[in-house]
Structure 1
Amino acid sequence: MTASSTMASAATIDQKMALLSTDEAQIPVWRHFFAFTDVPRPSGHEERVVQMLKDFADQRGLVWKQDAIGNIVIKRPGSGGGESAPSVVIQNHVDMVTEANSDSTHDFMKDPIKLLRDGDWIHADGTTLGADNGVGAATALALLDMPKDAKLPPIEGLFTIDEERGLTGAFELDPSLIEGRMLLNLDTEDWGVIFIGCAGGGDSKITLPVTRTALPSGAKCCEVAVTGLLGGHSGLNIHEGRGNAVQMLAEVLAAISRTDGNMRVASVDGGDKRNAIAREARAVIAVEDPAAAAKVAEKCMKDFRLEYGTLEAGLSIAATEVPAPDVPALDVASTGKMLALLRTLPHGVAKMSHSLPNLVETSNNVAAVKEDAPGGSSLIVTCATRSSVGPALETLRGKIKAIAELCGAECVQEDAYPGWQPNPNSTLLSLAKSQYQELLGREPGVEAIHAGLECGIIGEKIPGIEMISMGPSITGAHSPDERVCVPTVKPFWDVTLKLLEKLADVKA
């Protein structure tokens, strides 16, 4: 990073600090978080943010190491009486989900995140914010940046890459990178709760071969668009019954085909990230009567609005006449197979936990449907399945594979990633609960989460490591509605700092 770019970044960070009150600005987490919002860091493109972390360490004389996949650990020695305490790992991922509203011109590969404040909340301008997991990563930097006489144990800031796209950094982590056997993961989003377990999961890539033929001269076409849905995190929000744009689109197209038996799909594009509920989906279709198709789409919108009520108040479904595309369209048989696949795949909660109240045990997200290429010979459907029970995960994945094959598709499923089994009797949890109680006058909740945290994978690589996860309140993760609750960042910081001060008293 050049001196000029560093100065420009500092100026931008100062502008963002103006979003905070004087008291809020005293919390060191914020300046580091705003630095993260200035550095593009899409999953799979973490080079710039990793370089920022290396520069951070070098400027402070801290030792850093990097493994072959690109994860980085920054080490701060113990201080203030904690020099001989066991090392504590502070773990976060540095990549972010890159979702934007359809009218946004934001370029996640080069543009800083634009921030806005609305009451107690900070959010981005039409894009994901990156508070997941940027606030946690910023907290780690704030701890590594504490004064040299602060009472702290040795700290290992572990920053993993490519979590959002497939937990790649955790899967490929070189465990020799870290020494600590207590780990604080700061990647959960419900302040007031300490998490001690998470779901495992696995993806399904379904490839449906299709036959295309040229559209006749003078063919009439329209674009069917499903927009305005909430979307959200495919684990944390799956139990809320939010609409799935991919499956809604399939239902609309099926309704049109019932009145037009020769309807054909020329192009289709719905959803995006595997771990996000699809917010938007579109298809260009050839029909006999675009006006009739528009009426069917309008009726479908009314029906879905009745079904979802106020939950999906922004839902819009429209069929608009467009020129015929220059690519051949799916024939009627392939169109039917596509609709059968998308309408039959399970989406949402498959089973609630019998062991933990209100915890989703098993779910599936029909995440996206794409063409392999414009006018290509196959369609690609992505599903993300989660479960806290291994056999239940594989049962549901088996059903997905069977449905795909019945529709004439191939289904490839990589090995699932492990869940994190709760340990309610760990020393780390006991200390965290006591510090929470002492500072805030109430006990925290202790729960498992229906989302994939890196803790499950790290726990397999380092048997016996004690782990907990916590974080400030963040809502709308993996969607442009993502926001962080400003008043929860201070108590989160205070409890984290006090817990580390307590761990500084532990003797190795």
Structure 2
Amino acid sequence: MTVFAVSKELPEALQGLQPAPLWRFFGELSSIPRPSYKEQKVLDWLKLFAEERGLAWSQDAAGNLGHIDMVTEKNADVQHDFEADGIRLVRRDGWVTADGTTLGADNGIGVCAALAVLDSPPSMPLPPLEALFTVDEEVGMTGALRLDPGLLTGRVMLNLDTEDWGDIFIGCAGGGDSALTLDLPLEPLAGAAGGWGARGFRLGGMLGGHSGLEIGEDRANALRLAARATAAGLAAAPGVRLLALSGGDKRNAIPREAGFQLAAPDAGALEAATAAVRAAADAFRLEYGALEMGLALTEEEVGSEARRAGLTPAAADRLLLLLLMLPHGVIKHSHTVPGLVETSSNLASATIKRRTPESLTVELVTCTRSSLDRALEDVRQGIARLGRAAGATVHQDAAYPGWVPEPDAPVVHAAAAAIQGVTGKAPAVKAIHAGLECGIIGQKLPGVQSVSYGPTIRGAHSPDERVEVATVAPFYEATLALLRRLAQAA
């Protein structure tokens, strides 16, 4: 078992908050680095929790012991190592947030609610409980996909991983990623060490956010805008070349920042390209108006080594073809559920995987979602065809299934009654355009009844992530009330 330091001191931002056990565990959890694929420290913390309380635990081959990983996003000006540093918590205007990074309330609050229930006194009327903590939820739900169903005997599942308090979710979209890899030829820029000039540009300050929950809000995609600005710069003067372009980070986050570098054979051409990029940024600010008030263009110098070679014009065209034409945003709304996004795709990232003097390898990742399996695969097939037409190697893992709503399941009625008993208001029962593990786990556990609910979280998958303090206590109270109802029905 890994030896590591967990802070037992309650952070100032959490002092005085109720329910105290939940917030105490959240303070400890926040001190443990837990990016996707690197959850070993938090898994060991959970095992220690169980052993200290005499609770049995099992772990499958995937590492599953709700989901314990978190999306690791930070503002560009923040120094933070997600593999080594805990999250710095801040309380502001009734919300708990982090200092310039993602918070991890998605799904840290759900994890800590489960721990608080398991830590309840023996007198608490509870049904027999199993707590499932999955790994790698934020990067394709591979923990749930590889779950050994033999770990579990229960057939009622409470998924504490949604973000609108007072609502109950009983269905979700399925999804699948596409990775397109381009090997792009470079050519030396004649006299690059002398007459050629270069400039770097970065578009940032955009809202970003969850690629399912917030894809319908028409937020700017920094990667798409960077491609548009690049195209404008290349067209501004003869001989302008693209050196590199990258942006985005996580498959399930709308890109907030992206950067690119242009080179030109003389000062006049470089200034023309720069003016075109600046004009494009002005147009973007006009286009997105009050929605993206933070949208900003910054410029930086490019070293002589980086400007020795640029993409051939044909290679730049191949890259821009994909960045400009791959689907992003809402593709279709549901005709059955008013307001529900049915099918969407997120142009998530462009990453430079390898650079040699002769070539640049760039990987583009998209995340596609749909409530309908056929629609999902049709979009993914279109992405694959476009990628191959541009000369990319395309890799697509099998999509994960959606969660088909069962509005008359007994657990749905019990959850609705429990929440109404706390809030005095009947909850809305909804489906969600995001990937929840309920659909995957439901396929592995025939006959399972599921509901999903949670406190109010905003800005998930971005450094603006925050949880509303006033919703956490009623969320936990309703969880206990629901468990009491299930105990009585057992």
Shorter-chain TM-score: which interval? over 0.9
AA at the equivalent of 2:31? D
* Letter matched to residue 430 of structure 1: H
The whole-number CA distance in structure 2 between the counterparts of 1:307 and 1:118 is 31
Alpha-carbon separation, structure 2, partners of 1:175 and 1:2: 26
Q: Aligned residue for 2:71? A: 97
3-state SS in 1 of match to 2:395: strand
Secondary structure of the 1:210 match is: strand
Aligned-pair identity in percent equals 48
2:58 paired residue among 65, 73, 80: 65
1:121 aligns to 2:104 (yes or no): no
Match of 2:365 among 354, 357, 382: 382
Correspondence for 1:35: 28
Letter in 2 for 1:38: S
Kept after mapping to 2: 8 A contact 1:27/1:490: no
Q: d(CA) in 2 for partners of 1:198 and 1:395? A: 18
Correspondence for 1:76: none
Matched, 1:359 2:353: no
* Equivalent residue number for residue 276 of structure 2: 296
What is the aligned partner in structure 2 of residue 239 from structure 1? 216
Deviation at 1:321, TM superposition (A): 4.2
Q: Does the alignment pair 1:491 with 2:485?
A: no
Correspondence 1:330 to 2:311: yes
Residue 441 of structure 1 deviates from its aligned partner by 1.1
Structure 2 CA distance for aligned equivalents of residues 186 and 325 of structure 1: 50
**8 Å CA contact retained: 1:294, 1:320:** no
Equivalent of 1:48 in 35, 41, 47: 41
Contact 1:294/1:318, CA 8 A, preserved across alignment: no
Give how far 1:208 is off: 1.7
In structure 2, which of residues 252, 255, 269 is the aligned counterpart of residue 278 of structure 1?
255
Q: 1-side partners of 2:90 and 2:33: how far apart?
A: 18
Residue 10 of structure 1 corresponds to: 8
Q: In 2, Cα distance between the equivalents of 1:330 and 1:105?
A: 32
TM-score normalised to structure 1 length:
0.92
Cα contact 1:370–1:379 (8 A) shared by 2: yes
Q: Which residue of 2 aligns with 1:420?
A: 403
Displacement of 1:21 after TM fit? 6.1
| 3-state DSSP of counterpart to 1:372 | strand
Matches within 5 A, 1:83-482: 92-217=66-191, 218=194, 219-288=196-265, 289-326=269-306, 328-375=309-356, 376-482=359-465
Contact map agreement 2:14 2:27 (CA 8 A) in 1: no
Cα 1:319–1:291 shift into 2, 3 Å: farther
2:330 aligned counterpart, secondary structure:
strand
Q: CA deviation at 1:224?
A: 1.6
* Structure 2: runs of 5+ lacking an equivalent: none
Q: Is the 8 A contact 1:226 1:318 kept in 2?
A: yes
Q: Secondary structure at the match of 2:354?
A: coil
Measure how far apart 1:153 and its partner are. 0.6
Following TM superposition, by how much is the alpha carbon of 1:149 offset from its aligned partner in structure 2, in angstroms? 1.4
Amino acid at match of 2:52: Q
2:486 is matched with: 503
Q: In 2, are the aligned partners of 1:195 and 1:447 still within 8 Å (CA)?
A: yes
**Structure 2 equivalent of residue 75 of structure 1:** none
Cα separation, 2, equivalents of 1:25 and 1:495: 14
State the 1:409 CA deviation.
1.8
Deviation (angstroms), 1:464: 1.2
Distance across 2 between alignment mates of 1:5 and 1:413: 39
Instruction: Call closer, same or farther: CA 1:441–1:25 in 2, change over 3 Å.
Output: closer
One-letter code aligned to 2:334: S
Aligned to 1:19: 13
**Residue 119 of structure 1: CA displacement?**
1.0
Q: Can you list the C-alpha shifts for 1:317-356, whole angstroms capped at 9, x where unaligned?
A: 2444433334632111101111111111110000001111
Corresponding residue number in structure 2 for 1:87: none
Give distance in 2, aligned partners of 1:392 and 1:452. 15
**Partner SS, residue 339 of structure 1:** helix
Q: How far apart in 1 are the matches of 2:319 and 2:117?
A: 51
Alpha carbons 1:67, 1:177 under 8 Å: kept: yes
Number of residue pairs matched?
A: 481
CA distance in 1, matches of 2:471, 2:344: 29
For 2:146 and 2:481, locate their aligned partners in 1 and report how far apart those are by CA, in whole Å: 32
Q: 1:51 to 1:3 in 2, by over 3 A?
A: closer
For each residue in 1:250-304, what CA deviation from the matched residue of structure 2 results, as whole angstroms up to 9, or x when unmatched?
0001111111242222222210000000011111221243322221122111111
Structure 1: 4+ residue segments shifted above 6 A: 1-4
Code of the residue aligned with 1:418 in structure 2: it is P
Q: What letter corresponds to residue 331 of structure 2 in structure 1?
A: A
**Secondary structure in structure 2 of the residue aligned to 1:371:** strand
8 Å CA contact retained: 1:349, 1:364: yes
Asked if the contact 1:294/1:319 (under 8 Å) is kept, the reply is no
1:394 and 1:334 mapped to 2: Cα distance?
28
1:80 maps to what in 2? none
Counterpart residue identity of residue 363, structure 1: S
User: Are the equivalent residues in 2 in contact too, given 1:37–1:130 (CA < 8 A)?
Assistant: yes
Give yes or no for contact 1:421–1:456 (8 Å, CA) kept in 2: yes
Indicate the SS of the match to 1:148. coil
TM-score by length of 2: 0.95
Give the partner amino acid of 1:193. D
**Contact conserved, 1:297 with 1:319, CA < 8 A, in 2?**
no
Contact 2:355–2:361 (CA under 8 A) maintained in structure 1 = no
- Paired with 1:391 and 1:108, the residues of 2 have a C-alpha distance of 37
Structure 1 stretches lacking a partner, 5+ long: 73-91
Kindly state the Cα deviation for residue 169 of structure 1 after the two structures are TM-superposed. 0.5
Query: For residues 346 and 429 of structure 1, do their structure 2 counterparts lie closer, same or farther at Cα, with a shift above 3 Å needed?
Result: same
CA contact (8 A) 2:19 2:476 kept: no
- Secondary structure at 1:5 match in 2: coil
Find the aligned partners of 2:220 and 2:94 in 1 and give their Cα distance: 27
